[in-house]
Each structure stands twice: as structure tokens, then as C-alpha cells.
Chain A
Amino acid sequence: MLLEYQVNGGDFTNAGSVSSNVKKMMRQLGVDSSVVKRTVVALYEAEVNIVAHAYRGVITVDLQPDKIYIKLADEGPGIADISQAMQEGYSTASVAVREMGFGAGMGLPNIKANSDILNVNSVVGKGTTVEITNNF
């Protein structure tokens, strides 16, 4: 089953609504709650990254009986050095943002830890695509 959601950069208020929906659907399928939890955490972090770092994005969710595939494609500044961004503690967040409690640089490492397959692709000046696959 294919679903699509729009995400706006800067809208922290609504970040998390996609995760809520996906969680509910996985539960309807009867997916093990540890897998539901992993997926929700990964998706939430990736969703917040669009809100925090990009201009806008589209989240596509493909839910299958045995796995879930999520693609988060955004229009934004892109990531120049992905392997650096993947490191724990790396963040380009400003001091002001860090003071708000964001920008610990744990988002991407968390996404990696909570997905079975993770692909990150980016074109600087254009946007970033994050693909998460979790098997049930």
C-alpha cells in the first residue's frame, strides 16, 4: 500500500504526524511492536531533518505484508559530505538551534541504528533523499 505525505520546512509543530499514521497502520497489520518502534524512531528523525534543514519534502511510504519502505525526498541545501553527516555528534546547527535542544548530531546515526537498510543520497543545492527499509 502506497501513501504520500507533504512536509514543510520550518514546521516543527506538525513534525511527527506522519510517524503517528505509519505507527497505527503497522499496528493494524500486527507488526511486532519492537519493529514498529524502530521504524517510528527512524522516520521521526528523518522527518525532523526535513523540517530542520530543508525547504520542503515528500514522504512516500510503501507498506507491504513483510516490510516497509519509506522514501523521504526533499528540496533543500543538500549534504556535501554524507559520511561526515552520518557521524555521531556531527551537526551544522547554529549555537541558537543547539540551545533549543536540537542539533545534537544524533539524528542520522539514530536513523541508521533503527533501519535494516538505509540509503542517503544528496545533491548540494538541490536536495536530499533518505530511504529506509525495515523487514518484519
Chain B
Amino acid sequence: MDTHQENFHHALKFQYDLCIGCAHCTEICPTAAIHIEGGLPVLNPNRCIDCGRCYSACPVSAIYVEQDDFQTIYDYKTPVALVPTIFFAQFPEKIEHDSILAALHYLGFKFVYEVEESVGVLKHIMNEKLMNGDCDKPVISSFCPAIVRLIQVKFPSLVNNIMLVKPPLDLTSLHIKKHLVENCGILNEEIGIFYVAPCPAKIAAIKSPVGEDKSSVTGVINMNYLYNKVLRIIKQGTELPALQNDHRNVMTRRNLLWALSGGEIALLKEGRNLAIDEVHNVSAFLEKIENEDIDNIDFLEVRACDQSCAGGILCANNRFLTVERQKQRAAHSPVRVSKKFNELIQNFDYLADNSKVGKVQPRSMDKLDNDRAVAMQKMEKAFKINKFLPQVDCRICGYQTCKEFSFAVTNGVIGLKSCIFVQRLLNENNGISADERAELAKKTWGVQKLDINNIPDDLL
């Protein structure tokens, strides 16, 4: 079995007391990681990539994203907020950048850094890596952690294509620590760096980094939570502290476009480079790449959310409006800045030396058994079952597709009679009683949904 399993942390959790067992999450999952049992979703932790499609699909908000308690920032003498630029683009235009910064200071943060401050440095590292050609082509970006996990489980033969470089988040965080210790006389243990996350994949990646032992970030704050907190402070007219000792790294246009679709490939000097967003789109494209159906591509920017990070599920606002605001800010920002306006450039060598991450391991979700002969038997059985299933993918059995159901039957976790079509073919005389049918339905959908008393008499 999978030895990495215990390290595979997930930031998405079901709140079973709120769940109505509607199976919308089952339907949307790009890796078929969820099925329904007893009226509730069951997650296969080896398949989940923390993309958050289920979170968006849930009609009753029964999925929550694990995060650190905001109060933990006060455990540190010098709490630092590490904020993605799109956080600022969530707010209504009337609210000025400085008010948001001031509100963050009001909340207790001693310093506020924008995640993409290191993009200028990263640009050089990436271009150098691409020139060295130490990766299989096409080189695939490692920026989006949901996509890295998608490749591990669904496209294991592409793991060697992943560019082994840290994302802006880690580089900026490394810089902050070094800078505050060396130039501001702050003790390392007093510093707590809190990343404001736009998605569960980033949270999961910090809690259990792929290709690294430990993240350089101290804690994670849900972007949606912080947005509401900051907006309330501003709206209530709270008297905010004057901004004084805050560092001001001037953001360039390119830094600001990084988090949007196409922002990464815009930094590359040469080659045939493509940007693809939304996890199902990415999956379909990687399928072609894996078949060598498409070649001559040098670099792939691949992100799990539509409109990239502006579409992160923890973003408070409409993604298209966020993109528009972010582009406005970029248009009003300089194309390049000199060294004195970006302290990160002074740490270039240090960041470049520490930019590597370890190899990404494949964790194929497809393998049916460790014993190939047994796997063969299972495959044959599942194939035989799937062949007569209706292919309607109705999910009445609780599985995403007829095909997934056929594997579940093969593995003995559910009986063939749980298929509604099979039930219709059988009757009292040849295999299934009315009671048994009701029992099977309850096993998948729970007792509550199948209580006749739920239906008012006058409707029957």
C-alpha cells in the first residue's frame, strides 16, 4: 500500500451534522475521491487533491476548511502577515490599499508582506532552470499544490516533469525571516509568519509539504475569514494606526500578474509555453501530454482554479471582478523597480540557493492490488460488471460513475444489487425482496432520506 498515506494531509473536512447527503460533492470530484455511504460522504484520502471543487459544489456549506486559530498570531512577539496580492483585490475599489494595511496592523501584525514580492527573484531562478534543461519536457509548474497532487495520483509518469522550485510563498517567507533577524534585530523565535490562504490546497501543502520536510510558514489564515474581519474594521470606522515602520517593497506589474492565469508564462524568456486553468481542463490536457499526443511544448502553467488564484474557494469575491481589479493595480504599477525599492533582490543568492525542493513521488491511485495476478483478476471482474451496467452514472449506488461502482463491487465493499437498474431486473422471485431493496437504499442514503413519514399524506 501507499507509504506516503500518513503524511497526506487534507485541509477539507466534512461537517456531518450539516451534510444533507445530496452527493453533489461526489459528482464534481476530479479524482472520484468521494462516495456516499449511510447518507454521508466518505473521502478516499489517497485520491483527494484538496482542489476544493466539493466545497464550492456543496449547497449547505457542510465542508469546511481547516485553519489555524487566529489567536495563535498573538503567541508571537512579531507576527507577520504574508498576504497574496489578490487579497487586496477582493475589496471594493473605494477602500484604499493603505487602509487594508492599517487594518492588518490594527489586528496585531507587526509586518505585512505580499507573497509575490519574490516573483522577480523567482523569474530568474525559473529561467535558469529551464535553460539548464534538468527536467523532462514539458516542464510543469509546481506552483499550484492541487495540480502537483493531481499529477502524483493521476499522472504518475509526469512527476519528473514538475519543476522543483519553491513557490513565491516560501521564497518570500525565507526572505522575511532572514531580513528581520539580520536587519531588524528581531529574534528568530519571536517571528511568526502567517500565510493568508486563498485555497485549501495551499493549506494542505503547508501542513504536509510535498518534496520538503517542513514549511517555512508558521501558520495559515483563511483568506475569507480575514477579509471579513478587515472589512468590518474599516466599515465600522475604527481608528487605525498610522503606517510608519512598514517596509514598502514596490510591486512590479509582473509580480502582480503572477497569480492570474498566464502570469507565470509571461515571465519566461523563451519557448513554447502554455497556461491552463481549472482542474478538469488541466486533467484533460495532461492526459494528452502523457500519451505523447502533444509534443514540442516547453513549459506548462497549470492551475486548479478557473481564473487561477482569483478563483480560489476562500476568495470572498467574484473571481472576474478580482481579476479586473488586480489588472487595474498592475496597470498602475511600474514595469521594473530598482534594487532599493525591493529588499528581496539583496537576498537573491540566498533565495536562489534555497529555492530547490525535493523530488515529487508518484502515488498512483489506479493500482488495484500489489499482486499483479490479483490485480488482473480484479480488473477482469470489474470489466465484466461494468459492461452490463447502464453507464447512466446516476449515483443512486453512491458512487460517481458506473465504472467506479464496478470497482467497489469487485473490492467487495458494496453488492451488485445496490444498482437501481439491477434491482429493476430482479423481483421477489429471482433474488430481491421489497424489504431488501429498502435496506440497500438506506445503506447508501441513510435512514432519514428513506422515511416514508417525510412525505406529507396529502401529497401521496
Which residues of A are in contact with B by a Cβ distance under 8 Å?
1, 15-16, 19-20, 23-25, 27-31, 33, 36-37, 40-41, 44, 63-66, 136
Contact = CB atoms under 8 A, between A and B. Distances in A.
B364 A27 contact: yes
Nearest to B384: A1
Contacts of A66: 372
B288 A64 contact: no
Given A36-B157, A37-B157, A29 B291 contact: no
Among B292, B362, B370, B378, the most chain A Cβ lie within 10 Å of the Cβ of B292
Question: Which A-B residue pairs are the 3 nearest by beta carbons?
Answer: A27-B366, A33-B157, A65-B372
A64 B376 contact: yes
Interface string B356-392: 0000001010111110110110111001000000000
Given A65-B373, A136-B372, A29 B379 contact: yes
Nearest to A3: B383
A9 B434 CA distance: 52
Contacts of A136: 372
- SS class of chain A's interface: helix, strand, loop or mixed? helix
B92 to A, nearest CB: 47
B366 A24 contact: yes
Contacts of A25: 379
27 contacts: A1-B376, A1-B380, A1-B383, A15-B293, A16-B291, A20-B291, A23-B291, A27-B364, A28-B366, A28-B367, A28-B378, A29-B376, A29-B379, A30-B372, A33-B156, A33-B362, A36-B157, A40-B290, A40-B291, A41-B292, A44-B292, A44-B293, A63-B379, A65-B372, A65-B373, A65-B376, A136-B372
A61 B166 CA distance: 42
B68 interface: no
Contacts, number: 61
Given A20-B287, A37-B157, A65-B372, 6 more contacts: A1-B380, A28-B368, A30-B367, A44-B293, A63-B376, A65-B375
B291 to A, nearest CB: 5
Given A23-B290, A41-B292, A28 B379 contact: yes
Given A23-B290, A44-B293, A64-B376, A30 B157 contact: no
A46 to B, nearest CB: 13
Given A36-B157, A64-B376, A29 B290 contact: no
Nearest to B159: A33
Contacts of A19: 291, 293
Contacts of B372: 29-31, 65-66, 136
Contacts of A1: 376, 379-380, 383
Contacts of B288: 16
A76 B212 CA distance: 54
Contacts of A64: 376
